[in-house]
Amino acid sequence: MKHRTFIWFILPSLAAMVLFIALPIFSVFTQSLFVKHDKVLIEAEVCGPFGCKTEVSVDVAATAEIQKEKPLGKFNGFNTYTNRNHLAVKEVRSAWSEASSVAQFFGALLNLPFYKALLFTITYTFCVTPFVIVLGLFIAIAVNSLPPLFKGPTIFMSLLPMIVTPLVGALILFWMTDAEGIIGSTLQRIFNDNELSLKASKTLTWIMLMVYGIWASLPFSFIVFYAGLQTVPEDTLEAAMIDGANRWERIRYVVIPYIMPLVVFITLILLMDNFRVFEPIIGFSAQANATSLSWIIYNDLRGGEIQYFGSASATSMLTIIGVGLLLVPVLIRTWRDFNAKSV
């Protein structure tokens, strides 16, 4: 394709992305390098409906004076990235030198919020993604073999986990998995353990979140695979049949190579989305046992009355780097495909 044609085709899409994503990312990165100026604190009498007390408060005028000269704040370099609430370089180093065993080191490491979140994020990503891809493909193949009459309703019903907003969906599942809920009490009966609670134990909470994650993303991989199957050319399949390929071989050697671009696509998207896992943690109020990088960002921006943009920006940039590292293998593959394509 000629350069000029290419530009016209891509321009609208690119403009939207540059304006609303690239520029904000740049601004987010800049913000993460700054912290607020030192506030000028004074003691003043604070009175309210419940009496008076002398408290520390901010001298607004004096602080604004400092702010005026440098509106971005105090340049902090990468110190926000390395502080205790992010990469915690100093704390990790001292944990390393103080720890007498590897287990002790990891104990200290996982006491730091960033690494605690990272462990869950990575475990979640690598447990959920393969299940979703394989199960999604199987469901797509199975649904594709149904009589046409059943396909429509089946597709709709398969989409339901995606349609019901996680806001309410997770809330409903939260109550179903309660010790008195239908799933919770059924599990108690199955394992014959009246004290079994999915919400109290760390392991069970993780499993619950992952099962929810698989359930919630399966419709995505199923639908994409299903649409991909529709474009598999029939003559190639027939040729394979004539060559004596059995059912499994036809899937393995004809269908899968044909939908490989979609597999790559789904893997990319799933890795990325799972790495940013966050909604189920809020929905199941599981933050005691499982936190993720996105949850940290959420907590910085929406956890209370005060927003920590610098901190959230730093975690966001670290998330982008994490996603980048995660995608490297898939990207290398795409790169090879790309180069294999003739210009």
User: Under rule CB under 8 A, which residues in 179-238 are in contact with another protein?
Assistant: 179-182, 185, 195, 197, 199-200, 215, 218-220, 223-224, 227-237
Binding map of another protein across residues 283-302, x = CB under 8 A, - = no contact: -xxxxxx----x--xxx-xx
Q: Which helix (H) or strand (E) holds 271?
A: helix 260-275
Looking at residue 304, its amino acid is G
CB of 97 to another protein, least distance (A): 17
- Residue among 192 and 342 whose Cβ is closer to another protein: 342
Q: Of residues 86-105, which lie at the interface with another protein (CB under 8 A)?
A: 91
Question: Under the criterion CB under 8 A, does residue 332 sit at the interface with another protein?
Answer: no
CA atoms of 141 and 138, how far apart (whole Å): 5
Taking CB under 8 A as the binding criterion, the range among 94-102, 118-126, 280-288 that sits at the site for another protein is 280-288
Applying CB under 8 A, the site for another protein has a residue count of 168
CB of 205 to another protein, least distance (A): 9
Q: Do the Cβ atoms of 277 and 292 come closer than 8 Å?
A: yes
CA atoms of 203 and 123, how far apart (whole Å): 12
- Residue among 118 and 173 whose Cβ is closer to another protein: 173
Question: Under the criterion CB under 8 A, does residue 304 sit at the interface with another protein?
Answer: yes
Please select the residue that binds another protein; options are 134, 261, 332, 333, rule is CB under 8 A: 261
CA atoms of 27 and 228, how far apart (whole Å): 38
CB of 224 to another protein, least distance (A): 6
Determine the Cα angle at 23 with ends 20 and 26, to 5°: 135
CB of 283 to another protein, least distance (A): 11
Three-state SS at 48:
strand
Tell me the two tokens of residue 115.
Answer: 């690494």
Tell me the two tokens of residue 309.
Answer: 């943009």
CB of 123 to another protein, least distance (A): 18
Question: Under the criterion CB under 8 A, does residue 267 sit at the interface with another protein?
Answer: no
Q: Tell me the backbone φ, ψ of residue 45, rounded to 5 degrees.
A: -80, 125
Question: Under the criterion CB under 8 A, does residue 77 sit at the interface with another protein?
Answer: no
Determine the Cα angle at 104 with ends 100 and 110, to 5°: 145
Looking at residue 312, its amino acid is A
Tell me the two tokens of residue 321.
Answer: 């780097």
CB of 81 to another protein, least distance (A): 11
Looking at residue 273, its amino acid is D
Q: Of residues 140-179, which lie at the interface with another protein (CB under 8 A)?
A: 141-148, 151-169, 171-176, 178-179
- Residue among 103 and 306 whose Cβ is closer to another protein: 306
- Residue among 116 and 123 whose Cβ is closer to another protein: 116
The Cα-based distances of 118 to 77, 148, 162, 323 in angstroms read: 23, 45, 26, 12
Rg of the chain on CA atoms, in Å: 26
Question: Under the criterion CB under 8 A, does residue 312 sit at the interface with another protein?
Answer: yes
Please choose, from the candidates 128, 136, 126, the residue with its C-alpha nearest in 3D space to the C-alpha of residue 219. 136
Binding map of another protein across residues 19-48, x = CB under 8 A, - = no contact: xxxx-xx-xx--x---xxxxx-xxxxxxxx
Taking CB under 8 A as the binding criterion, the range among 92-100, 126-134, 316-324 that sits at the site for another protein is 316-324
Please select the residue that binds another protein; options are 65, 70, 72, 74, rule is CB under 8 A: 74
CA atoms of 331 and 342, how far apart (whole Å): 18
Looking at residue 46, its amino acid is V
Q: Of residues 107-126, which lie at the interface with another protein (CB under 8 A)?
A: 111, 113
